[in-house]
Structure 1
Amino acid sequence: MINVDFNYLKRHHLGQLKDGFSLNDLLQLVSLYFKNPSDYRFIISGKELDLFNTQSFIRCQSLFGNSISILVLRRIRGGGFVEIQILTNIILYDLEKALEQIPTRNNEERPCQTFRGMNMTNNDLAQYTVGTRLMTKSFLSTTKNRSVAEAFAICRSATTDNNIPTLCTYTIKNRRTAYDLETISEYPEEKEVLIIPYSAFIVKGMDRYESPSETGIVIKIELEECEAVSD
């Protein structure tokens, strides 16, 4: 038997299909939970299954194993355009599944360090006083290769008050905070590590050189991930 989980609005409807099931078998199972299946979209591993199209069923049938999770989204009434919310749900679902396949870069015994080079203004730097806690609001691209980050920071024009080459070092301590993209990136030599949104860091130190260092870096900032708060 194949266990099927229909994920609709964060509610899970569980059912089973026999091995070698047909499109009609699947449609009957869907109808138990969704009265009018044509009002919904069914997403399997990022691919949409059309319950009323045999070829679509054949293409998706190989995705069923011992168990399968199907994301269910309500269609837009009276139109064929995809609502932003529906599109966002699909993207986030696909991204979540993709990230699950990427190894983490950190463990409890050996925290991971990554680097990010950027140009900052004096106003930007004012937010990085020692002891300040900061939270990422979006995905943050960093690298395991310090020289890559340094090169990125100094690739612009000469240093000014609005263009200060800065190197940030992130010490990552908690699982699932950063994902190593080196093996799947189009540019593996960049050794990219992706820090996820809403990760909290504390500023542990800042060094400012009176003149640019040998690498051209003017500011170095040390950030350490905050410990997870237990309930």
Structure 2
Amino acid sequence: MTGIWTTETGNTVTVANPGARSTNPGTAITPVQVSATDSATGQTLTYSATGLPTGLTINSATGQITGTPAGVGTASATVTATDTTGASGYATFTWTVTGTDVALGRPTTASSVEGNNTSLTADKATDGNPATRWASTYTDPQWLQVDLGTTKSVKEVKLTWEAAYGKTYQIQTSNDQTNWTTIYTTPTPGDGGTDDLTGLTGSGRYIRMNGTTRGTSYGYSLWSFQVYSW
């Protein structure tokens, strides 16, 4: 999508859409040049951007996007070019950062299952089906643990909560299921939804969400527990 705003002087700024982009996390991108033209001569353009993946920035003078993506997902990015009269144009495009969920399909266990319901077992949080979930009993604390098979670096964890969410919790890693290292602790009470935890530094064969305080009177319930390593 592209758009144009003009000023009373009649200037028109047009931004060339760079098209949908797809890159990998943890790897510096090949610089992306966003170009713009101005119907008026002698104008200096200033570039700005919103919605770029975490880790990417745009050079305000040249319109070049550089950096290293720090998380996975698809973003809607908008680059705007503005001239000295205030006339602007923009281009909106998608930017997908693709990573491998190393928890997908891996053996998953939990401290409890709500009512021993076979449709709410731990493996439902790592089966790749967004319509299935794990749910615990209605007490604190509770945990959900994944065996990654081998020691993996952990850069990002994405938790998609059902209505019964974790108000406070930790992300912990271990190589023996006995000694745990905390690589993330909720800085403020959570509010459910999706918690996309980027910029993590840790490693281990096992990883778990260790819930310490429930957000509701129910237990902990996750539609998905995704782990990204690069």
Is the TM-score greater than 0.5? no
| TM-score (structure 1 length as normaliser) | 0.28
Q: Which has the higher contact order (CA 8 A, sep 6+)?
A: 2
Bigger CA radius of gyration: 1
Greater share of helix: 1
Greater share of strand: 2
| TM-score (structure 2 length as normaliser) | 0.28
